[in-house]
């Protein structure tokens, strides 16, 4: 095993690199900027949560049908009317931005410890061949409350802890409702995904900060990956795009829908649904002029729990896929 090193914060590199960025960030196989510029937008799946979560009616059935289509075709959608005000979502982005704007020494009080996931940092360097992501981040376990490691929770800005606590409580409620709605959209018993998942819902918040990059044509904010979780709720930057999803071997841009939460299926839910719901591969491209922030909250089951396909979704036509 090579030694695991923490690389220098990307924000610091961006400030001092004079247009020449370290080799480790360059994707040698390349992805020409022309390809990025010509990427089209993904289909517009905006789903009204107030309908999806309401008792059965023609409108709610229509919305559930849209939920099923978006999750089986793309694995993701934009949720509106989720019960959080625009003001509140702005505050979440704002405390994230204010944290990354602090002096390095202040942020480093929360640096990720060795053998820990939580904390401030960026890609752990495990191999010389590794291509690094152009992004700094702050990872925090937010749920269950008794697993929070408060030593990594910023004390500045002052509102940070309270806002993230409140956001977690709201997302915890959305978790149950959405798991039920997904089951209902597949004509299954409301509680079947929740039962397979188990009562313990671990939630991890990741504040992603992407500084401007002088050579965006050969550097990625996040490499292509799928989220190994149940599902992810992403609060995107309000003004700067960057997220792309892969479908049928083609990349598509995720638009900014004001005050929506972008939700994507993770590998666990793809497995539980026997492949009906897709865990999409996605990546983040960056920008030469503008910084970008996003806040991803990942939910997953007890790490010791083995989850499998729901029995109702394994049929003669659709044998067990995992």
Ligand X SMILES: O=C(O)CCC(=O)C(=O)O
Q: Under the rule (CB under 5 A), what is the footprint of Fe ion?
A: 227
Cβ atoms 62, 273 nearer than 8 A:
no
Residue 141 touches ligand X, criterion: CB under 6 A? no
Distance in Å, CB of 127 to Fe ion, minimum: 21
Distance in Å, CB of 220 to Fe ion, minimum: 12
Instruction: Give the ranges where the chain is alpha helix by DSSP (H).
Output: 10-16, 33-37, 49-52, 58-73, 86-100, 104-108, 160-185, 192-197, 267-272
Residue 203 touches ligand X, criterion: CB under 6 A? no
Residue 180 touches ligand X, criterion: CB under 6 A? no
Burial-class residue 193 by CB neighbours within 10 Å (0-12, 13-18, 19+): buried
Residue 234 touches ligand X, criterion: CB under 6 A? yes
Pick one of Fe ion, ligand X, none as the site partner of residue 208 (Cβ within 5 to 8 A by kind): ligand X
For ligand X, the closer of residues 66 and 206 by Cβ is 206
In Å, how far are 50, 121, 244 from 241, measured between CA atoms?
Answer: 26, 23, 9
For ligand X, the closer of residues 217 and 227 by Cβ is 227
For Fe ion, the closer of residues 39 and 188 by Cβ is 39
Residues in binding contact with ligand X, number by CB under 6 A: 12
Residue 296 touches ligand X, criterion: CB under 6 A? yes
DSSP 8-state code for residue 310: -
For ligand X, the closer of residues 51 and 243 by Cβ is 243
3-state helix/strand/coil string of 216-264:
HHHCEEEEEECCCCCEEEEECCCCCCCEEEEECCEEEECCCCCCCEEEE
How many other CB atoms are found less than 10 A from the CB of residue 215? 16
Query: Residue with CB nearest ligand X?
Result: 294
What gap in Å lies between CA 146 and CA 69, rounded to an integer?
Answer: 37
Distance in Å, CB of 225 to Fe ion, minimum: 6
What gap in Å lies between CA 287 and CA 214, rounded to an integer?
Answer: 8
Residue 119's nearest CA partner among 141, 139, 96 is: 139
Distance in Å, CB of 227 to Fe ion, minimum: 5
Applying CB under 6 A, which part among 6-14, 119-127, 144-152, 236-244 lies near ligand X? 236-244
Distance in Å, CB of 226 to ligand X, minimum: 9
For ligand X, the closer of residues 138 and 313 by Cβ is 138
Residue 282 touches ligand X, criterion: CB under 6 A? yes
Please name the residues in contact with 38: beta carbons below 8 A apart, sequence gap of 6 or more.
none
Distance in Å, CB of 54 to ligand X, minimum: 29
Exactly one of 133, 227, 259, 270 binds ligand X (CB under 6 A); that residue is: 227
Distance in Å, CB of 266 to ligand X, minimum: 9
69 to 88: interface string for ligand X, x by CB under 6 A: --------------------
For ligand X, the closer of residues 263 and 284 by Cβ is 284
Residue 104's nearest CA partner among 42, 183, 15 is: 15
Pick one of ligand X, Fe ion, none as the site partner of residue 109 (Cβ within 5 to 8 A by kind): none
Applying CB under 6 A, which part among 78-86, 120-128, 184-192, 234-242 lies near ligand X? 234-242
CA angle at residue 92 from 88 to 95, to 5 degrees? 130
- Partners of 188 in the β-ladder: none
What gap in Å lies between CA 25 and CA 215, rounded to an integer?
Answer: 10
Q: What residue ranges bind ligand X (CB under 6 A)?
A: 206, 208, 222, 227, 234, 236, 242-243, 282, 284, 294, 296
């Amino acid at each position: 095993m090579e030694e695991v090193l923490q690389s220098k914060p990307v924000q610091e590199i961006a400030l001092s690199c004079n247009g020449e960025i370290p080799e480790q960030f360059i994707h040698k196989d390349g992805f020409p900027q022309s390809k990025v510029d010509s990427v089209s937008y993904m289909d517009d799946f905006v789903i009204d949560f107030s309908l999806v979560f309401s008792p059965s009616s023609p409108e709610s059935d229509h919305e559930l049908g849209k939920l099923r289509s978006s999750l089986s075709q793309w694995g993701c959608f934009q949720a509106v009317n989720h019960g959080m005000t625009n003001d509140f979502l702005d505050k979440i982005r704002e405390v994230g931005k204010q944290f990354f704007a602090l002096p390095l020494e202040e942020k480093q009080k929360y640096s990720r410890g060795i053998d820990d996931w939580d904390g401030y940092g960026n890609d752990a360097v495990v191999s010389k061949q590794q291509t690094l992501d152009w992004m700094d981040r702050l990872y925090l376990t937010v749920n269950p409350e008794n697993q929070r490691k408060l030593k990594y929770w910023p004390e500045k800005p002052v509102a940070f802890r309270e806002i993230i606590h409140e956001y977690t409580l709201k997302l915890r409620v959305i978790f149950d409702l959405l798991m039920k709605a997904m089951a209902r959209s597949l004509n299954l018993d409301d509680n079947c995904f929740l039962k397979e998942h188990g009562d313990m819902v671990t939630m991890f918040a990741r504040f992603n900060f992407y500084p401007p990059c002088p050579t965006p044509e050969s550097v990625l904010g996040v490499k292509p990956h799928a989220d190994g979780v149940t599902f992810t709720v992403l609060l995107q930057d309000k003004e700067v795009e960057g997220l792309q999803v892969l479908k049928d071997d083609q990349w598509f841009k995720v638009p900014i829908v004001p005050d929506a939460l972008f939700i994507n299926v993770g590998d666990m839910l793809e497995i539980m649904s026997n492949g009906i719901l897709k865990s999409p591969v996605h990546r983040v491209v960056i920008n030469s002029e503008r910084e970008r922030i996003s806040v991803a909250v990942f939910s997953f089951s007890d790490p010791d729990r083995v989850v499998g396909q729901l029995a109702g979704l394994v049929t003669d036509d659709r044998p067990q896929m995992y």
